[in-house]
Structures are given as C-alpha cells and as structure tokens.
Amino acid sequence: MVDITNKNTTLRTAVAQAVVMVSKQETITAIENDTVPKGNVFAMSKAAGLLGVKRTPDILPDCHPLPIEFTGVEYKIDGLEITVLFTVKTIYKTGVEVEAMHGASVVALNMYDMLKPIDKGIEIHAIKLLKKKGGKSDFKDSFRKDLKAAVVVCSDTISAGHKEDRAGKAIINKLESCDVKISEYVIIPDETEDIQQKARTYQEQGIDMVIYTGGTGLSGRDVTPEALLPLLDRRIPGIEEAIRSYGQERMPFAMLSRSIAGTIGNTLVLALPGSTNGAKESMDAIFPAVLHSFRILKGARHD
C-alpha cells in the first residue's frame, strides 16, 4: 500500500452516487408503499451500505483500513430513476472517496437484489464521486505564487566541512514542491551573532521566509532559539505545537526539540531541528498549510 505515515490527520469527506433505473412505474410504487416482497428496500439497502463501507479494505487490496466516523445515505426519486447519495466522513490521514463509491455501489446492488423478483429490467448507472474535501489540495494556499525563502543551516560541524548537510536540502526539496523560490542557502556555525545577522538581513531584503535548521536541541552549543527569540515581533505557538505533535507521533524524542516560529515584520521565521528526519518531518507537519500565513499577514480573511 502507499505509505501515508507522513500525512497529517484532517477531517475528510466524500460524497458518491449510484443511479438505479427501474423499468416500470409499478416498481417505484411498490418501493414507496413498502410492498416489495423482500422488505423495505430503502431501509435494508441503507443497512447493506453501512455494512459494506466498513469492509472496503477487505475487498480492495490497496485501500487503507481507516475509521469510518460518519455515513449518510439519501435517496432521490425522479421518474424511474433512484439516485443514491452516499456520504462518508473520517478524521484520518487519507481520503474516503473509494469508501463512498463502494458504499453507493453496495446500496445499489442490494436494491437490485431486492427488486429483481418484481422487475427484470433494472439497471445500475453512474457510480461516481461527486465531491471530496479535506485533502492536501484543499489547504494549499493560492494567494501568492511569488514567495521567497532563505534556508540557513546552523552547525559547527557542517560549517567546518566535517559533515555534509542533508537537513537543509530536505527543507529545500519541500519548499520547491510548494512552489517557493529559494533565494539563498547558507551554512553558518552555531554563533548567536551570525544567526541574528542572517535574520535581520533577510528581513530587510523582503524575504518571505527564513528557515533555520539546527541548534534547537539541548546541548551547550544549541543557541538558535535564544538567538532568534529577541528578534521576533510575535511568536506563533500553533506552528511550534504542530511540529512537536507531529514529531512525537513518530519518535519519542521529538518533545526535546525547541523549535520556534514567529514573525519579524512580514517575514516568517522558523527554527527547525538539525537532523534530516527532524527537519523533513517538521516541514511535512506544517507545509503547505503554513503558507496561509502570508494571506493573513496581508490582511486577508481565513476563509
């Protein structure tokens, strides 16, 4: 199956349809009057759909098992057509489009099975997804496409040439996937003055984001938060909490990171862990949703 361990948990919704076409008005009348020999068609078909949607990963090998937290079934009769609307909701890492379509299919098949003794001309049409919501694309901000970022690696070891940087490059890869232009990528030692000078310079140059990696741990040379905090106009605790929460779900030492987030003027400043996995997971935790901050900084509404 596709690896979804890097995805964020969000509210996911999908609505699918199936259309059951009967061949005569008498069938519709029997459904409405509850005189179908096999029982109440709508109630039993709804029950079949509720059972079926929860078995979706048992039938489709690449479908992830996930908690089904809401299922709704609606029927609309138009002439000889009965449209089944099947809604599924979950709070999880992946969407429920397939579950919704599977549920609609099961409802339609159960209707077929119950109605075939009284109508030999039944057909099932138009099983399709009508809408979905809650995936990454729903939170990708489209306000600006000209954002620029500077990536600063804070490490005595890497700046001295004793080790290759991987964390900074992981950050750059994520930024580029979000259409953010890299204005500068630089490696500096763990020195307070150097860290502060970079933040001031980039803010004066109008760089939208300055992302530091390294120096957020607990060793004596980890001074990135202490260097940046006096410069910040405002901290953004929610970003910091999201980073640590995401990391803690993946490894028990994430709580020891002292990642910070805030603004200097209209420049967003992030200080992320120096390990490759720590930096990558921190970026996965907040991008692309964090780009929405630039809409707010410009005075736009959240909606």
Report DSSP state, residue 208: S
Among residues 197, 222, 198, 239, the alpha carbon closest in space to that of 274 is found at: 222
Residue type, 161: G
- Residue 40's CB is within 10 A of a number of other CB atoms, namely 14
Q: What is the CA radius of gyration of the chain?
A: 27
Pairing mode of beta strands 209-213, 148-154: parallel
Cα–Cα distance measured from residue 207 to residue 199, given in angstroms and rounded to the nearest whole number: 10
Q: Where are the beta strands (DSSP E) in 158-282?
A: 181-188, 209-213, 234-235, 260-264, 267-272
Among residues 4, 9, 7, 12, the alpha carbon closest in space to that of 87 is found at: 12
Q: So which residues are the catalytic ones?
A: 113
- Determine contact, residues 296/144, Cβ cutoff 8 Å: no
- Residue 195 forms beta bridges with which residues? none
Contacts of 88 (CB under 8 A, 6+ apart): 13, 14, 53, 68, 70, 71, 96, 99, 100, 103
Report DSSP state, residue 223: -
SS3 82: strand
Report DSSP state, residue 137: G
Burial readout 70-87 (b: 16 or more C-beta within 10 A, e: otherwise): ebebebeeeebebbbbbb
